[in-house]
Amino acid sequence: MAANGSINSNKKQLIVSALCKHLSLDPKKIVCDAEESDLKTLYSNILKASGKDSSSALCDEVMKWIEFAESFIADSKACFDVLSKFNEELTPKAVLLGNGLRPSEADVVVFSTVHSSVIGLPKAHQEKLPHVVRWMDYIQSIEDFKELFENVSVEKARFEPPVEVESNAKKITQSSKNADKSEAGSNTKTTDRKEGKGATQEKKESIETETVGKDKKKKATGDKDATQEMKKSSETEASEKDKELSVSLLNIQVGLIRKAWKHPSADSLLVEEIDIGEAKVRQVVSGLAKYCNPDELTNRRVVLITNVKPGKLRDVMSEGLVLCASNEDHTVVEPLLPPGGAKPGERVSFSGIDGKPEDVLNPKKKQLEKITPHLFTDEKGVATFKGIPFMTSAGPCTSSILKASIK
């Protein structure tokens, strides 16, 4: 985290304003001189005003990141080198401190420090810092910094339909078959002309031989019809199978968690009240207690399946399934994050996939179990079904966990 530099009074004043917004304080009531005081002193004064304990281990960790901010060089080639190291450190993280999803004062201080440097980089350089840009996009979507900072523009992944290679191959194969037929027809005509002298002999063939030929033709026709019926049956079965596995069966919607609390009788479970644009909030039980605390989830946007069959989990009713990304060994799990402009209740769509969701999924058909293996995040953290992004009116849903499974 080390860097070498200094931080000017204007930058310090900006950090103070951002910290006050983060802690819901009025900057005018904070008695401090940004020009005379160092950043650690300013942070300590703000912390006291907020009523937070300044002696906690978390505050010590914040102080380490304040050291990074104080020594950050904003206008040098070294700036990009420092940001590159910072990018590596952010690779497994959603936020700077802890394993949760709620930004800390460290995130606010560092965001305020590096913002002008990152936003001033050429696009080619920004593309080399994917985790920094992803982290900044996440912070600006959680914190209300619109009045303080220019929005960091993030290019969202766009879905490009795959080229229909198979269809083209079929056309080539068909053209080849037609050419073969044409050549065969030409050869047949040539042979007929050469063997015209034997026509009289052919006319003398017995009626018995002709009858046998007709029987063979009938048998061949019957075999052909049977083959076509089997082919049609196979195609119908494949079509039904594809339909059964279509993500369109799921009613995936944007939700906003209004309230979250620990399950009364299960340490691994949390209970959430989620707004999906209906008159009544949905109550959902999720296995997130090990990865998130209730405060981190309150007022957080999520993506959930709303047409699962309602049922009780340890005596508490659950009416949905919050979709979460997980790393390979399931040590890091977080709910998918819709973009800031997505509204509660909005249905997530998938380019090129149409269809009406089931009213209620049938557990006996195991539809969910067949679809979820095809849900994952890509190398940019965009949530996808078979590589097709989870799209809302405001852009794709994402996760800080890259190449993760989604359940």
Query: How confident is the model at residue 109, as a pLDDT?
Result: 94
Question: Residue 313 phi/psi, 5° resolution?
Answer: -115, 110
Query: How confident is the model at residue 31, as a pLDDT?
Result: 58
Query: How confident is the model at residue 337, as a pLDDT?
Result: 95
- Helix-strand-coil percent breakdown of the chain, rounded to 5? 45, 15, 40
Q: Which residue has the tokens 């993760």?
A: 404
8 Å CB contact between 361 and 307:
yes
The span from the CA of 141 to the CA of 145, in Å, is 9
**Phi-psi region for residue 6, left (φ > 0), alpha (ψ -120 to 50) or beta?**
beta
Query: How confident is the model at residue 45, as a pLDDT?
Result: 86
Give bridge partners of residue 187 from the DSSP assignment. none
Query: How confident is the model at residue 235, as a pLDDT?
Result: 54
H-type helices in 104-206, by residue range?
105-119, 123-126, 130-142, 165-194, 199-203
Query: How confident is the model at residue 350, as a pLDDT?
Result: 93
pTM: 0.50
The span from the CA of 377 to the CA of 368, in Å, is 18
Cβ neighbors of 193 (< 8 A, separation 6 or more) are none
**Residue at 209: amino acid letter:** T
Query: How confident is the model at residue 102, as a pLDDT?
Result: 81
pLDDT of the chain, 407 residues: tens digit per residue = 544 455 677 888 889 999 998 888 887 766 565 566 788 888 888 888 888 776 666 788 889 999 999 888 876 667 888 999 998 888 878 889 866 678 889 999 999 999 999 988 888 888 889 889 988 988 888 888 888 999 887 765 554 444 444 445 555 555 555 555 555 555 554 445 445 445 445 555 555 555 555 555 555 555 566 556 665 555 555 455 544 578 999 999 999 999 999 999 999 999 999 999 999 999 999 999 999 999 999 999 999 999 999 999 999 999 999 999 999 988 999 999 999 889 999 999 999 898 899 999 998 989 999 999 999 999 999 999 999 999 999 999 999 999 999 99
Q: Which residue has the tokens 């799990």?
A: 333
The span from the CA of 45 to the CA of 386, in Å, is 51
Instruction: For the beta carbon of residue 89, count every other beta carbon within 10 angstroms.
Output: 13
3-state secondary structure of 357: coil
Query: How confident is the model at residue 141, as a pLDDT?
Result: 84
